[in-house]
Structure 1
Amino acid sequence: MDDEPWPGVVEVQFTDAAGRCWSLFDKAPVFDAMGELGPDSTFPVEVAVTCVVAEGHGLPEDEEAVTVSTSPHGVATSDGREEFTVRRDQLIH
């Protein structure tokens, strides 16, 4: 989104278990522990968002979903939302 202030601010988008697209905004290092995001990066780039599992439940057709919170690093949507229900296969360990 912007290189000022340094480090730059990026927008991360993901789709939840219901198919809704969400945007999270924060400085690049919050989403990129390896330091690969920068002004010369070619976007879009896959990144990870640190989260904690809040609860799990079933979805139609026996797909598993889990509610997660992005609170460990204080990452939230522009309106302050930090809990999302995502597919279990979206999570990495």
Structure 2
Amino acid sequence: MPTGLAIPESPGSRAESLGRRRPYRLAAERISDHQAMKRGSLLRCEAIAWVDVEWPGWIRVRLEDADGRSWYLVDKVPVFGLDIGPEARMPMPLHLLCDVVSEDGDHLVVVPRWRIQAEDGTSQFRVRRDQLTAAGA
């Protein structure tokens, strides 16, 4: 099975005018990886405090990494997949949708969806495998 094809651009396209062709990958494992990425993983975290109760509400979430370090993330309630109002009591568990980007020995490196970052700008976190569950499972 070929791993790629070169499909010519339509006449008059920019690629044709540059004399280039568009490569397409057909590898089955790439399609499988893409489907797994779309599902993502759920990382156990904890909503610890309200930052702003005005709609849509902003909360602070604690994520504990594989080394026991706490990271704090702040964003809108819906971004964390919650449907709660100011009457909700903290702390409360939540599952943060993320993608596994690599393996680091017995641990995984994850990136939260929706560009959520820790307060210091960190966007990749090394976590234990048992902290994750498959999204949609």
TM-score, reference length from structure 2? 0.58
- Which protein has the bigger strand share? 2
Task: Give identity over the alignment, percent.
Answer: 39
**CA deviation vs aligned residue, 1:13-67 (integer Å, no higher than 9, x gap):** 021001100001100011134x1x2211111111111111011122xxxxx2100
Q: Is the radius of gyration larger for structure 1 or structure 2?
A: 2
Of 90, 101, 116, 1:54 maps to 101
Structure 1 residue ranges, 4+ long, deviating more than 4 angstroms after superposition: none
Matched residue SS, 2:96: coil
Match of 2:57 in 1: 8
| Aligned-residue RMSD, C-alpha | 1.2
Number of residues of Structure 1 aligned to a counterpart in Structure 2: 84
**Does 1:79 pair with 2:120?**
yes
Gaps of 5+ in 2: 1-50
Indicate the residue corresponding to 2:132 in structure 1.
91
C-alpha distance in 1 between matches for 2:76 and 2:133: 21
Name the structure where helix makes up a greater proportion of residues: 2
Report what 1:68 is aligned to: 110
**1:38 aligned residue:** 85
State the alpha-carbon separation in 1 of the partners of residues 93 and 85 from structure 2: 13
List gaps (5 residues or longer) in structure 1: 59-63
